[in-house]
Amino acid sequence: MIYLDNCATTKPDKEVVEVMMKALTDDFANPSSLHIFGHKVEKEIEVARKNAASLIETQADEIYFTSGGTESNNIAIHGAIEKNKRRGKKIITSAIEHASIDDQFKHYREKGYDVVYLDVDETGAVDLEKFKEVMDEDTILVSLIYVHNELGTVNKVKKIFEIAKSINKDVFCHVDGVQAVGKIPVNVKDLGCHTFSFSSHKIYGPKGMGALYKRKDVNINSLVIGGGQEKGLRSGTENVPGILGFGKACELTKRDLDKRLAHAKEIKEYLLKKLEENLKDYKINTPEDSTDFIVSLSILDIRAEVLLHYLEGDEIYISTASACTSNGTHKSTTLEQIGLSDKYAEGTIRICTSKDTTEEDIDIFVEKLVKYVDEIRKIMR
């Protein structure tokens, strides 16, 4: 099997699985229990919290465990808007956000909020000058994706937030960092954000786990009321196996990040070289200064979903767009935003490599890709 859909999810690391199995079979106590067994598990959770904090260069008391990136984004967005609703109703975001952000703003737009969707340039990045034009003192929230899930584009969120705060020092700044963590170095303190979301299953951890960084001086309302876990921000008995697995994934990602980034760069360069040597009539949509784990490839005279099914017959797995939205029935908003023509857009696939992707994997993938592209073109032309 050659798995090149690592933006959708990653294979859990063996050490992560081992930690989770131990939590399921041995460390099964409720961390809220008063006995020593419960305290033991609670301490293990705090170790996981420190590992998650270390990965994004912050302190453990600013990390809150959630069920994933979507919940983290919801807590941050809803919390920020509810906290600041008396100050104004203007929100700024980009036109190519993940559905867990975009759908929330559609909801608030229906409730009367002024949601400004910034168009992006041909690389998929927010234009700083356009941002300056729309940012004002009435803006209560700026929410932006850090690394784009389809293109790999890295937004200049630090600079954007600096501009925002120079105009309105009280504006709330949120970052969707789900595709950034593990794919680029992340320092939330340097970014200047109030909240930052990230996810376990994007960094070789378990699904159903995520975290929200919330700056310690920031107070936002909870979505889930109950037992007071996670300092009341996210009540409910902790998912101990998930948290410990996530913590281990964070520890390994922090330890091996430089090596993983270097490997991804080598694999991307090799992939682009093989494509140039073997494939005709295509475009690379991913800009040069992007994360090296993601390549958006548009191929002329094919349908991406047809190619996907050809490849899966050889146990080669890719994506046509974000796995959270792709259903093969519409043109990606992202591809429209970067000005890609329909004839290229319908043949767009996303290749997302991992720490385990090899040059041999790329050789086989490109060989099969070229073969099936030729077959599809004969049918479609």
Active-site residues, by number, are 324
Q: Where are the domains of the chain?
A: 2-8+257-380, 14-253
Six token digits for residue 127: 């234009």
- Phi-psi region at 323: left, alpha or beta (left = phi > 0; alpha = psi -120 to 50): alpha
The CATH class given to the 14-253 domain equals alpha beta
> Is the separation of the CB atoms in 147 and 291 below 8 Å?
yes
Would you say the pTM of this structure is higher than 0.85? yes
Letter string b/e over residues 229-259, b meaning 16 or more CB atoms within 10 A of that residue's CB: bbeebbeeebbbbbbbbbbbbbbbbbeebee
Q: How far is CA 234 from CA 37, 50, 84, 345, in A?
A: 23, 18, 20, 40
Radius of gyration over every alpha carbon of the chain, rounded to an integer in angstroms: 21
- Given pLDDT bands bounded at 50, 70 and 90, which one contains residue 330? low
- Given pLDDT bands bounded at 50, 70 and 90, which one contains residue 224? confident
Question: What are the pLDDT digits (tens) for 103-131?
Answer: 999 999 999 999 999 999 999 999 999 99
Instruction: Give me the residues paired with residue 174 across strands.
Output: 143, 195
Count of other CB atoms within 10 angstroms of residue 269: 11
Report percent pLDDT > 70 for the chain: 97
CA distance 380 to 359: 31
Q: What is the pLDDT of residue 323?
A: 45
Instruction: Give me the residues paired with residue 65 across strands.
Output: 211
CATH 3.90.1150.10 for domain 2-8+257-380, yes or no, is yes
Six token digits for residue 180: 């950034």
Q: What is the pLDDT of residue 269?
A: 98
Q: What is the pLDDT of residue 332?
A: 85
Q: What is the pLDDT of residue 285?
A: 97
CA dihedral 9, 121, 341, 296 (to 10 degrees): -30
- Cα(first)–Cα(last) distance of the chain, in Å? 31
Q: What one-character-per-residue DSSP string does 299-351 give?
A: ETTS-HHHHHHHHHTTTEE-BSS-TTT--SSS--HHHHHTT--HHHHTTEEEE
